[in-house]
Amino acid sequence: MKTNFLKFRLAIIAIAAVTIFASCSKDDTDDQMDSKNIVEVASSNADFSILVQALDKAGLVSTLEGAGPFTVFAPTNEAFNALFAQLGVSGINDLSAETLKPILLNHVISGSVKAMDITTGYVETFNNSAPGANNVKLFINKGSNVMVDASKVVTADVMASNGVIHAIDKVILPPSVVSHAINNPNFSILVQAVVKAGLVEALSATGPFTVFAPTNAAFNALFAALGVSGIDNLTAEQLTPILLYHVVSGNVLASQVSTGAVPTLKAGSSINIVANTTGVKLNSNSNVVATDVQGSNGVIHVIDAVLIP
């Protein structure tokens, strides 16, 4: 499937393009750190000792000693210990290099992105373990705090010779398409619908899936058309076929989309796609407004109207 779909790349609703964050002023020690690379800076900070162990075990030390520049969202020891408790393991020794590598690369993006340059939006990580060896993306949400997926930046602008470190309070696991929806407040109604329909586990599976994700504004327009106040007025039985109608099998990127009928996970149904130089339209009434939000088990394309089977 081919298209000009790429011109829509990540303008997600009120979400701007690639960057990040909020603010913790640098202290005087940063000037002393500038001559050290990211690994050396992390090694000199006791709060990052588990991160350094993990980088060593995963064979990523030389990568982050490279020229870069890199921006690293660095989990503290406390963040790693919370992950170990969640996974039911005692520490780094219980995790293989193969397990650690995509998790760690999920915390690294290209460029030296300082606090002053941060805006809300999606960023592409170095983690290329997604279907088709595509790079997983994270959602940065800048509000009173800066959230990187479900983690919070607790210290910003720890400078190094080859980039910058921002300390975070939670390890960021590669997000599934469900996690992506949960982490972005513009999809909060979609998340409510998926939970009510009992589809969280199904859409968190291996997949891969391509999800055409309606925004909150799209759902509110549907509620107005139906004369209901919200998700609470719709049953799981009503929601399930509607939601499955928004999911296509495979990891279909914008560059692979073309005009035609595409089968959905709702048995016996297809979405009619029209792709041309003016954009991409689904079933003649829903426009694709942002594309290629890559997750660990599939990809999301954002649409401005709910599709009805």
**pLDDT beyond 90 at 32:** no
Same domain, 34 and 150: yes
Same domain, 148 and 295: no
Q: How far is CA 157 from CA 38, 49, 132, in A?
A: 12, 18, 33
Q: Which amino acid is at 282?
A: L
Q: Is 26 domain-assigned? A: yes
Same domain, 142 and 31: yes
pLDDT (average), residues 137-156:
93
Q: Is 16 domain-assigned? A: yes
Same domain, 126 and 239: no
pLDDT band at 7 (very low <50, low <70, confident <90, very high): very low
pLDDT (average), residues 24-39:
61
CA-based nearest residue to 159, from 72, 282, 280: 72
Angle between helices 216-226 and 188-196 (to 10 degrees): 60
Residue where a domain stops, chosen among 105, 133, 168 = 168
Same domain, 16 and 57: yes
Same domain, 17 and 130: yes
Q: Is 280 domain-assigned? A: yes
pLDDT tens-digit readout, 239-271: 999 999 999 999 999 999 999 999 999 999 999
CA-based nearest residue to 141, from 102, 180, 198, 197: 180
Q: Is 78 domain-assigned? A: yes
Q: Is 309 domain-assigned? A: no
Same domain, 161 and 244: no
Number of domains composing the chain: 2
**pLDDT beyond 60 at 13:** no
**pLDDT beyond 60 at 157:** yes
Stronger pLDDT, 305 or 34, i.e. the higher one: 305
Same domain, 71 and 211: no
**pLDDT beyond 80 at 284:** yes
**pLDDT beyond 90 at 40:** yes
Q: Is 49 domain-assigned? A: yes
Q: In what helix (H) or strand (E) does residue 161 lie, and over which residues does it extend?
A: none
User: HSE-up of 74 (CA within 13 Å, CB side)?
Assistant: 32
Same domain, 210 and 131: no
pLDDT tens-digit readout, 119-134: 899 999 999 999 999 9
pLDDT tens-digit readout, 214-244: 999 999 999 999 999 999 999 999 999 999 9
Give the CATH number for residue 216.
Answer: 2.30.180.10
Helix residue ranges per DSSP H, the chain: 29-33, 38-43, 49-58, 61-64, 77-87, 97-105, 177-183, 188-196, 200-203, 216-226, 236-244
Q: What pLDDT was estimated at residue 59? A: 97
Q: What's the CA angle centered on 88, arms 172 and 148, to 5 degrees?
A: 10
Q: What pLDDT was estimated at residue 35? A: 86
Same domain, 184 and 297: yes
Residue where a domain stops, chosen among 118, 142, 168 = 168
pLDDT tens-digit readout, 82-101: 999 999 999 999 999 999 99
The domain in which residue 81 lies consists of 10-168
Q: Is 2 domain-assigned? A: no
**Cβ count near 224 (within 10 Å):** 10
Q: Which amino acid is at 91?
A: G
pLDDT band at 292 (very low <50, low <70, confident <90, very high): very high
Distance CA 276, CA 171 (A): 41
**Cβ count near 61 (within 10 Å):** 16
Same domain, 184 and 152: no
Q: Is 5 domain-assigned? A: no
pTM of the model: 0.86
Q: What pLDDT was estimated at residue 293? A: 97
Same domain, 269 and 152: no
Q: What pLDDT was estimated at residue 6? A: 40
Q: How far is CA 43 from CA 111, 167, 172, in A?
A: 21, 14, 20
Residue where a domain stops, chosen among 168, 189, 210 = 168
Q: Is 111 left (phi over 0), alpha (psi -120 to 50) or beta?
A: left
